[in-house]
Amino acid sequence: MIRYLSLVVSVLLLISNTAFAGPGRTGAQILNLGGGARARALGDAFSAVSGDVTTSLWNPSGLAYLPDSNLSSDRKGSQLSMFYSDMSAPFGEAGEGMYYTFISGAMPLGDIGTIGATLQLNGQGTIPVTVDSPEVIRNDNLGTNMVFTLSYADYLTDSIAMGINGKMIRMVLGTETGSSYAVDLGLQYHVPFDPIPTTIGMVIQNVGPDISFIDENQADPLPRMFRIGTSMSLYRDRYNHFRLVSGITSYIDKLSENEEELLADLERVNAERAEKITKEQLLSDRGVGIRAFEWRHLQKNVGVEYWLGNILAMRVGYKSEPGINLPEFTDHLTYGIGVKVYLFNLDITYGPRFGPAQERLLEATGIIAF
């Protein structure tokens, strides 16, 4: 218990050191990409899911128990996963060479707990270079962003699991590079409901110092967020399994505002408005501090998963992002399938529309359990 309390104290110290979160935008957007075709198909409602190596990207406590479906239910098994997403289509010609991928692995160590590692790579594509005419003389690669994560998870009690991620972050911006580090701290509680087995998960992610490319005065905060969700096994027998997952995410990029800058912004905003707003209204609009938990600022996620005979999975999800008003209900939908054959699992998903071209992403994850 002492080691877990130490982890909690460390995270709280990091939070206190990042109370003033810079200019209101975030850097290291690779930390927002999440990942895993199964999670995508479920609308990114994955903070309460366990037993899947890709949970390290959503809630590291989900690694505490990695079941191997080919073994008895009281055994654990290691998993290795690879995910790939070609991100060029939603951005049209400007997206050539853009991709996101990760490799993730986890291994249970008996009573010691479970350890894992994940490498995320985000290729930013290329940009045409011209001189005095529209003729392109060459294409420069914009570089690859990278995050390397070490994970650890274990059960505190029979029904409570805890996990932690330590992240090393490297970002590329033209010829400049920036680096930082971050911590995730997650918890899952398996509620002892016999009729409907339920798990509640919560996690705080990307707590760490700002990332800068030139100097500290131009540093951007990491995309800190708090997730909470549920996973409910609605029905299960030998050949069928229905699961309902849900979640909400609060973006806590800014914990407070510089008072002088806030008053200057308020004066500028009111100079352009007929109906004046107060300082509190401006803080609320920006989602600063506790106001980040207002309903309008929350990301909402829900998903349904059906397994047939532990071989074929069908999934559908819904995801609503704050500040993004997509015209059609179907634009928020995600869906996909999964196929499990012996030690191998393949998940394929179509994600929601995004980018200038408003195209859906086709994403795939392969998992090997051994």
User: Tokens at residue 340, please?
Assistant: 């499990």
Domain ranges of the chain: 2-21+35-127+140-253+286-369
Q: Best-predicted range by mean pLDDT among 38-47, 247-256, 345-354?
A: 38-47
Q: Give the number of residues written for the chain.
A: 370
Q: Is this model's pTM higher than 0.75 or not?
A: yes
In 119-258, where does DSSP find H-type helix?
none
CB atoms within 10 A of CB 37: 30
According to the model, what pLDDT value does residue 318 have?
Answer: 93
**277 or 12, greater pLDDT:** 277
Taking the C-alpha atoms of residue 311 and residue 305, their distance in angstroms, rounded to an integer, is: 13
Judge whether 227 and 260 are in contact, CB under 8 Å. Answer: no
User: Tokens at residue 196, please?
Assistant: 């409907």
Q: Per-residue pLDDT tens for 119-131?
A: 999 988 777 776 6
Taking the C-alpha atoms of residue 229 and residue 61, their distance in angstroms, rounded to an integer, is: 13
Q: What is the DSSP code (8-state) at residue 53?
A: G
Identify the band that residue 266 occupies on the pLDDT scale cut at 50, 70 and 90: confident
Judge whether 47 and 203 are in contact, CB under 8 Å. Answer: yes
User: Tokens at residue 69, please?
Assistant: 């479906």
According to the model, what pLDDT value does residue 354 have?
Answer: 61
Is the model's pLDDT at 132 over the cut of 90? no
**25 or 117, greater pLDDT:** 117
Is the model's pLDDT at 23 over the cut of 60? no
User: Tokens at residue 311, please?
Assistant: 């071989």
Residues 6+ apart with CB under 8 A from 251: 223, 224, 225, 287, 292, 297, 299, 322
**DSSP secondary structure letters along 75-106:** -B--EEEEEEEE-SGGGGGGGTTEEEEEEEEE
Taking the C-alpha atoms of residue 269 and residue 308, their distance in angstroms, rounded to an integer, is: 56
Identify the band that residue 164 occupies on the pLDDT scale cut at 50, 70 and 90: very high
Q: Per-residue pLDDT tens for 78-112?
A: 899 999 888 776 666 666 778 899 999 999 988 88
Q: Per-residue pLDDT tens for 291-326?
A: 889 898 899 999 999 999 889 999 999 998 887 776
Q: Per-residue pLDDT tens for 165-192?
A: 999 999 987 778 889 999 999 999 999 8
Weakest mean pLDDT among 4-8, 278-282, 299-303: 4-8
Judge whether 66 and 76 are in contact, CB under 8 Å. Answer: yes
CB atoms within 10 A of CB 141: 12
**2 or 199, greater pLDDT:** 199
Judge whether 46 and 237 are in contact, CB under 8 Å. Answer: no
Residues 6+ apart with CB under 8 A from 330: none
User: What fold does the segment set 2-21+35-127+140-253+286-369 form as a domain?
Assistant: Porin (2.40.160)
According to the model, what pLDDT value does residue 137 have?
Answer: 67
Is the model's pLDDT at 6 over the cut of 50? no
Strands (E), the chain: 79-86, 98-108, 114-124, 126-129, 138-141, 144-155, 160-173, 176-191, 198-207, 225-236, 240-251, 298-308, 312-320, 333-341, 344-350, 362-369
